[in-house]
Structure 1
Amino acid sequence: MSEQMDRVLGIIGYPISHSISPIFQQAALNYVGIKAKYLAWETPAGNLSERINSLKESGVIGANVTVPHKQSVLPLLNDLSKTARAIGAVNTIVNDQGVLYGHNTDVYGFMKSLQIEADFQSNGKSALVLGAGGSAKAIVYGLLGDGIKKLVISNRTPSRAVQLKKELGNPENVLVAMPESTDMLHHHDLIVNCTTLGMKNGPGEDKSPISLQHISETSLVYDLVYNPQKTPLINQAMEIGAQAISGLTMLIYQGAEAFRLWTGINPPTDVMLQAAEKALKG
């Protein structure tokens, strides 16, 4: 990679001002000595095609993609990784001499975080996934690939959960919880929140996606929300002595894998995590 001039990367989303990716990715670039700037590219839907096309320029290394463009970006790219194609979502783009490759590092980020933070082994275990959006699809895909025995999807609109299951090939070990079937929410080894409930400044900031009665002290509770790091769900889990993980480590590991795809260099994850934690503390 040439270092004679400043090159650029960025994150594409709308809105984008809340993202801490520019902070921890810039810290990583600086640490390894790559002369590049990581920018926040606020991009409304109507400008997405133009923005993606601009990534083909010689000075652009690549980009991250976040809400609401992870699905709509697919037809604008030249090729997709196996994982991105299976999930139908891209969060990382690599520019290889004007050819744009789409990747999904969310699956890697989640599974790596589970392994490092909790030494969680999926084989023989059951999981409850709360939500049925793009992030839930990545989590379900990752857990199925890791050998989870049983997985229940619970969503406020059950038809969305049914559709998610269908998009992943209707696996027999994936069940959809209907509103009246609260017994399906009990006794899971892993509970993952893929909704925005608990997110700082969000409409459900003070809410948990699940009642305390459904959390066991032996459950591992994973909240994809990372700001705040102690959400209502994580506080519930800690209250009964269950292990709980914030989504910050998933954010860092997915970002670290994107960094590796862009640069070919092993990412300084400790540096990235420190920068992210500092940013969240304000």
Structure 2
Amino acid sequence: MVKALVIGDPIEHSLSPVMHNEAFKQAGIQGSYEKKKVTSGDLPSFLQYLKESDYAGCNVTIPHKVAIIPFLDEIDPEAEKIGAVNTVVNNNGKLIGYNTDGKGFLLGLKEKISKPLREMNILLIGAGGAARSIAYALLQENPEKLFIANRSAERLDLLVKDLNKICVEPLSLKKAESELSSFDVLINTTNAGMYPNIDTEPILLTQLKNDAVVCDIVYNPLKTKWLQTAENKGAIIDNGVSMLVMQGAMAFEKWTGTFPDTNKMKEAVNDQLRR
């Protein structure tokens, strides 16, 4: 019996149990996955409990992705570079931290693009934890140029400095809007458009190329106003379900040794969201 869970605060909205329990079913593995509210104050005692338990590990969401790092026994080099952990493996009482967010996003993106990322100009909107994970993953693909736009210049400069690559260029949101026609891929990592603030958009898409790929890591609603606008302009769109499922599938593989049926996981998440 393989047991895992997701921890965060708040956690009620999490769809991870829906997709992981479907993954266990499809893989023919006897297992269970649950969600547990863990406050910042409870984090150290929860991790001690996890070490001593028979859980294979856990997923980590807001607000613990950075705070968890000092309590882990080991951290994967990539997660250390990113400075955030979203997956913990319990290896006989030794807790090892990984980050599957960026690679998970990349797996979903590659299903949507028709040419290699090294031939593309990419615009990443946001400079938080998700943007950081995705930027690191994108840079492994050596894109033509990675532009990053963010509301806070201070946070943006910090991320660009940490990435330390000549192909990375910071932009203001206004500048990004004015140069929109030069981007092949646009990625929103902010919570603009997320329920209940469904009328907000990260940037205006007035000058969008009609063959651009536009991605939003928000998945509630399934199609944000921003994605609807992009689709109406002829763009290929992708919502946050892809990243949610792919990062989860990579975590599932770390706990079980089996890469699950991601199409069935997606179906389970989409069904739940439609309800």
Structure 1 and Structure 2 fold alike (TM over 0.5): yes
Distance in 1 between residues matched to 2:12 and 2:167, nearest whole Å: 39
State whether structure 2 residue 223 is matched by structure 1 residue 216: no
Q: Report the counterpart of residue 66 of structure 2 in structure 1.
A: 71
The aligned counterpart of 1:198 is: 193
Of 24, 41, 50, which residue of structure 2 is paired with 1:46? 41
Distance 1:57 1:25 in 2: 23
Matched to 1:35, the amino acid is Q
Distance 1:267 1:179, change over 3 A: closer
Structure 1: gaps (5+ residues): none
Provide the residue aligned with 1:181 in structure 2.
175
Are the aligned partners of 1:189 and 1:220 in contact in 2 as well (CA < 8 Å)?
yes
Q: 1:11 aligns with which of 6, 10, 20?
A: 6
CA contact (8 A) 2:4 2:55 kept: yes
The 4+ residue runs of structure 1 with deviation greater than 4 A are none
What's the % identity of the aligned pairs?
38
Asked if the contact 2:126–2:190 (Cα under 8 Å) also holds between the matched residues in 1, the reply is yes
1:26-51 deviations in Å (ceiling 9; x for gaps): 11123333333211111111111111
- Once residues 63 and 180 of structure 1 are traced to their aligned partners in structure 2, the CA distance between those partners, rounded to angstroms, is 39
Task: List aligned pairs for 1:248-267, cutoff 5 A.
Answer: 248-267=241-260
CA distance in 1, matches of 2:71, 2:127: 24
**8 A contact 2:57–2:255 mirrored in 1:** yes
Shift of 1:8: 2.6
SS in 1 for 2:117: coil
| Residues 218, 240 of structure 2: 8 Å contact kept | yes
Deviation at 1:130, TM superposition (A): 0.7
Choose from 234, 241, 246 the match for 1:241: 234
Helix, strand or coil: the match of 1:123? helix
**Equivalent-residue separation in structure 1 for 2:173 and 2:7 (angstroms):** 35
- For these two proteins, the number of residue pairs brought into alignment is 274
Cα displacement string for residues 126-185 of structure 1 (whole angstroms, at most 9, x for unaligned residues): 1111111000011111111101111111111111111111122x2111111135535344
Letter in 2 for 1:239: N
The alpha-carbon deviation at position 119 of structure 1 amounts to 4.1
Partner of 1:146: 141
Partner in structure 2 of residue 124 of structure 1? 119
Q: Is the 8 Å Cα contact of residues 23 and 265 (structure 2) preserved in structure 1?
A: yes
RMSD, aligned CA: 1.5
Matching residue of 2:166: 172
Q: Which runs of 5+ in 2 are unaligned?
A: none
